[in-house]
Amino acid sequence: MTPVAAEGDGTEADLAACPECDELHVRRAVRPGERARCTRCGTTLYRRPRRRPDHMLAIVTAALIAFVVANTFPILVLRAQGILSEATLLGSVAALWTEGQEPAAVLVFLTAWLFPLFDLLALFVLLLSVTTGRRPALYAPLLRALQAVRPWGMIEVLMLGVLVSLIKLSRMADVVPGVALWAFIALTVLLAAILSYDLRVLWRPVPHQEAAR
Amino acid sequence: MKALTAGLRVCLVCRTVCHAPGDGMGDDRAPVRCPRCGAAVHARKADSLARTWAFLIAAAILYIPANLLPVMRTSTLFHTSDNTIISGVAYFWTSGSPELAVLIFTVSVVVPITKIVALAFLAWRARKPFRADAHPLGRLYSVVELIGRWSMLDVFVVALMAGMVQFRSFATITAGPGAAAFGAMVVLSMLAAHSFDPRLLWDHHGRSDDAR
Ligand SMILES: [Zn+2]
Ligand SMILES: [Zn+2]
């Protein structure tokens, strides 16, 4: 099901309406990196991403690798009185769960692990089908799910949390940054690029020329 | 011209402009299915103000246990201490990291209460026509929507500390019930912001000057 926006299908393909104030605008072409703003309230109506889908695919792949590394190795290693203590993100979630803080464990698991991972995997599949020019039946539901989940992924907040814990813990013990800390920093940087890519271009009925290449 | 006046609706998922059912005028509450992405398209978010208020009230109630209950329990050989958000801020302030104290205080105390008050104000203003300019209100909504997620900071800090400090023999850190209350409060206030439809603010914009 890939409906094409054309005359007579109940849509106005050459119009855009502001999601914040409902003002109607006539669409015009924008150059890569440019955005069209609402004349009334200034909200971004649509934009043309600077990066091509195949570039984004490379960035998403790198982010997935960073995600795996960030969750495989300990974030920080603590040493106090000769004893080592270390934890991964999922180890921390498990600790919360066994301490009887199940709601907090679920919240951290979803916002810091599952939703960001789903975001990256879904975007990988979508960009892959855009660059190869074939849209599977799951394309539309997957893109909708991705847009619904995106606000709930909070890797950048987690990153700040890692830095605050690092400072807090360095008061109590010797703290050695783990491999995962560097992976988290890389992941945060890559995610900044990923989040700035406007997902709505993926709804365009025909993959634009740059994608076909 | 507004999309609503033209008998059109914008799909909030893919931003396609769709035709409204019937004559398109007025507040036809029946959603149309977006031809491009399949999402339900409402003229305005369904029951926007009722949902916003419900989530806001729940968030405001949880704000109290979130700040009063301990979020973290530190146990050493000699004593056990419970830390609330505020005592954590006080610890940073007195131990020579005032910038961290300000950061935690801002995202954990100031941001949630500001967000709840600002959304309540917007929901109240959107209910009936007013003579004021909608621009600052629209901007207030954008800011509120943007900053809310950062309140999760302390929940992540507690989770990481509890996961890492497990020296069974002499020091452990465990999470307290305040962490869950705090996280739930942040989620509810984010749901309140998602439920609010900023277009309601503009529906009254300038209307009192139109002499309707
Ligand atoms: Zn606008
Ligand atoms: Zn749509």
Is there a single domain that holds both residue B23 and residue B57?
no
Task: Give pLDDT, residue A5.
Answer: 42
Mean pLDDT along residues A132-148:
93
- Nearest-angstrom CA–CA distance, B81 and B72: 8
Task: Give pLDDT, residue A187.
Answer: 97
Chain B contacts of A140, Cβ < 8 Å? 37-38
Is there a single domain that holds both residue B38 and residue B126?
no
Chain B contacts of A161, Cβ < 8 Å? 152-157, 159-160
Mean pLDDT along residues B57-67:
96
Is there a single domain that holds both residue B136 and residue B190?
yes
Determine the distance separating the centroid of ligand 2 and the alpha carbon of B145, expressed in angstroms. 22
Is there a single domain that holds both residue B95 and residue B37?
no
Res. B97: pLDDT tops 90: no
pTM of this prediction? 0.90
Show the tokens assigned to B102: 């300000």
Res. A62: pLDDT tops 50: yes
ipTM metric? 0.90
Show the tokens assigned to A104: 């907090």
Q: What is the pLDDT of residues B103-117, one digit of tens each?
A: 999 999 999 999 999
What is the pLDDT confidence band of residue A209, given thresholds at 50, 70 and 90?
very low
Is there a single domain that holds both residue B82 and residue B146?
yes
Residue B171, classed as helix, strand or coil, is strand
Is there a single domain that holds both residue B24 and residue B89?
no
Q: What is the pLDDT of residues A88-120, one digit of tens each?
A: 899 999 989 998 889 999 999 999 999 999 999
The β-bridge partners of B8 are B19
Domain that holds residue B16: 1-43
Res. A147: pLDDT tops 80: yes
Task: Give pLDDT, residue A207.
Answer: 46
Q: What is the pLDDT of residues B149-196, one digit of tens each?
A: 999 999 999 999 888 887 766 788 889 999 999 999 999 999 999 999
Is there a single domain that holds both residue B127 and residue B180?
yes
Element (H, E) at A161: helix A155-169
At which residue do the structure tokens 């271009």 appear? A201
Res. A10: pLDDT tops 80: no
Please report the residues numbered 53 through 112 in chain A whose beta carbons come closer than 8 angstroms to any beta carbon of chain B. Answer: 75-76, 78, 80-81, 83, 85-89, 91-96, 99, 101, 103-105, 107-108, 111-112
For chain A, give me the number of helices (H) and strands (E)?
8, 7
What's phi and psi for A137, nearest 5 deg?
Answer: -60, -30
So where are chain A's domains?
2-47, 53-211
Q: Which of A72-81, A121-130, B20-29, B75-84 has the highest mean pLDDT?
A: A121-130
Q: Which of A169-178, B81-90, B202-211 has the highest mean pLDDT?
A: B81-90
Among the bound ligands, name the one nearest to the CA of residue A205.
2
What is the domain count for chain B?
2
Instruction: Considering only residues A24 and B168, tell me which one the structure prediction assigns the higher pLDDT.
Output: A24
The β-bridge partners of B172 are B75, B166
CATH of the domain at B187: 1.20.140
Q: What is the pLDDT of residues A160-179, one digit of tens each?
A: 999 999 988 888 788 888 88
Chain B contacts of A142, Cβ < 8 Å? none
Res. B128: pLDDT tops 80: no
Instruction: Considering only residues B22 and B161, tell me which one the structure prediction assigns the higher pLDDT.
Output: B161
Determine the distance separating the centroid of ligand 1 and the alpha carbon of A35, expressed in angstroms. 14
Is there a single domain that holds both residue B71 and residue B11?
no
Other CB atoms within 10 A of residue A14 CB:
12
Instruction: Considering only residues A212 and A16, tell me which one the structure prediction assigns the higher pLDDT.
Output: A16
Res. A1: pLDDT tops 60: no
Portion of chain B with pLDDT greater than 90, in percent: 64
| Terminal alpha carbon distance of chain B | 17
What is the pLDDT confidence band of residue B207, given thresholds at 50, 70 and 90?
low
